[in-house]
Structure 1
Amino acid sequence: MDVSNSVDPSEYRLQVDGLADALLDPEIAEILVRDSVALSVIQWSGIDSQQHTLPWTRMRSPLDVRSFSAAARAMPRAFVLSDTAPAEALSYALDRFTQVPDCKRRIIDVSGDGTPNAGSEVGPLRRRAERMGITINGIAIESLGVAITNFYRRHLITRDGFVVTARGHRDYPRAIRIKILREISKVLG
């Protein structure tokens, strides 16, 4: 979850509430439990600004889903006044998969409202993810145009990944629900 300088406090709230609400969607919650999906949340911004805010948690019961949703809704913002460095966020996220080796399908979701203005190139990390069998999907939060969506498509997502575009932060709740449903539908199909 992008918490760089371009994300103001109300936009941060829209992201965490959108995630929390999407997880409580009855269709999503049912599949998360049925497939015992493991979830975690990483907040990221600049080069040295990544935090594994919510550790890997298996969704084994409706209570697990409700608890994870509540924790997401309550999580404080990890960083303020920082750049946008998605390559470093990807590197950090890829390293977290050693903690959950038994996943049937491994996915990194990158949500953000800006293109990189700090850090390394994203391409080597995308290739590393593909070698590891990890899919990278994205939610591009656009205020005008499609620059972020295009950057995600061309440089960030893996060949088996996809991008959902949110038309501003207010559209994020809709976009994340669609993205999660698409991901878990792939697990089933």
Structure 2
Amino acid sequence: MCLAAPAAAQDCRLALVLALDVSSSVDPSEDRLQREGMGRALLAPEVAEAFLAGDPVALYAFEWSGRNAQVPLLPGWVMVEDEPTLGAVARGIAKSRRSHDELPTAVGAALGFAATRLREAPDCRARTVDVSGDGMHNEGFSPDLAYSTFPFENVTVNALVIGGAENSEDLAEWFRAEVLHGPGAFLIFAEDYDSYEEAMKAKLLRELQPPAVSAISGRDRPAG
């Protein structure tokens, strides 16, 4: 797996940050479904084709929970330019192990961490943060404060909301109101962790379409 080298904007179409929720509401089996589901979604033929169509995508992935608990899942930014690199990324995420399982849900801190990592990203034409979560923020500074404090200009933040742990309608509405940010931001809803893989696949396909950020907002359920 190759770390992303400095790149000109015309050489990178999207810097994409994937953020996985590992707060205490996520049990061990759900955590494994999330990691392995993301790995399989990245390797789905239609997703791989979207990744490798045209200029490359720079990818960063981390897990988040408490206010000081954001842990990278990959060795920094990875420039996805070929199938072997995408395969290495998918396997790395699928085989990763969570660092915490007892902490609250600090969405603001996760957003701040993502914005800081984007400062280190290659100079891509678009920048997107993708937050997966199954609960509302309950520790540390709020998402609103994160957006007013950290550099989110020209950054789109999408959400993959996982139902089951809380009232699904309330949870989706909270993410829509407090987390979605930037041009074309959208939300994908998974009924539960068993549905996570298909939801992640649908979300990645939408994010990878030109111009790398969807122009449609709102709650979407993946087909099937």
Output the TM-score relative to the length of structure 1.
0.94
Quote the residue 1:121 is aligned against.
Answer: 142
Give yes or no for contact 1:140–1:166 (8 Å, CA) kept in 2: yes
Structure 1 residue corresponding to 2:64, chosen from 44, 52, 58? 44
Is 1:6 matched with 2:25? yes
Q: CA 1:134/1:159 → structure 2, altered by over 3 Å: closer, same or farther? A: closer
Output the TM-score relative to the length of structure 2.
0.80
Sequence identity, in percent? 32
1:131 Cα offset (Å): 4.4
Q: Answer with 35-44 or 128-137: which moved more.
A: 128-137
1:30 Cα offset (Å): 1.8
Structure 2 residue corresponding to 1:187, chosen from 190, 207, 211? 211
Higher helix share: 1
Quote the residue 1:153 is aligned against.
Answer: 176
User: What is the rounded CA distance, in whole Å, between the counterparts of 2:56 and 2:152 in structure 1?
Assistant: 25
Q: Which runs of structure 1 show a deviation greater than 6 angstroms over 4 or more consecutive aligned residues?
A: none
Give yes or no for contact 1:18–1:173 (8 Å, CA) kept in 2: yes
Report how many residues are paired: 189
Q: CA RMSD in A?
A: 1.6
Structure 2 residue corresponding to 1:136, chosen from 150, 157, 176? 157
Is 1:177 matched with 2:201? yes
User: What is the rounded CA distance, in whole Å, between the counterparts of 1:126 and 1:90 in structure 2?
Assistant: 8
Structure 2: runs of 5 or more not aligned: 1-19, 215-224
1:56 Cα offset (Å): 1.1
Q: CA 1:130/1:93 → structure 2, altered by over 3 Å: closer, same or farther? A: closer
User: What is the rounded CA distance, in whole Å, between the counterparts of 1:109 and 1:186 in structure 2?
Assistant: 17
User: What is the rounded CA distance, in whole Å, between the counterparts of 1:96 and 1:130 in structure 2?
Assistant: 11
User: What is the rounded CA distance, in whole Å, between the counterparts of 1:127 and 1:153 in structure 2?
Assistant: 17
Q: Deviations over 1:73-116 (max 9, x none)?
A: 11111211000000001001100012213111111000000001
Q: Deviations over 1:44-94 (max 9, x none)?
A: 001111112212101111101111111011111121100000000100110
Q: Deviations over 1:3-42 (max 9, x none)?
A: 0000001000111111101110112112212331111111
Quote the residue 2:3 is aligned against.
Answer: none
Q: Deviations over 1:162-181 (max 9, x none)?
A: 11011011111111011001
Structure 1: runs of 5 or more not aligned: none
User: What is the rounded CA distance, in whole Å, between the counterparts of 2:192 and 2:59 in structure 1?
Assistant: 25
User: What is the rounded CA distance, in whole Å, between the counterparts of 2:189 and 2:173 in structure 1?
Assistant: 10
Give yes or no for contact 2:60–2:78 (8 Å, CA) kept in 1: yes
Structure 2 counterparts to residues 8-87 of structure 1, below 5 A: 8-34=27-53, 35-54=55-74, 55-87=76-108
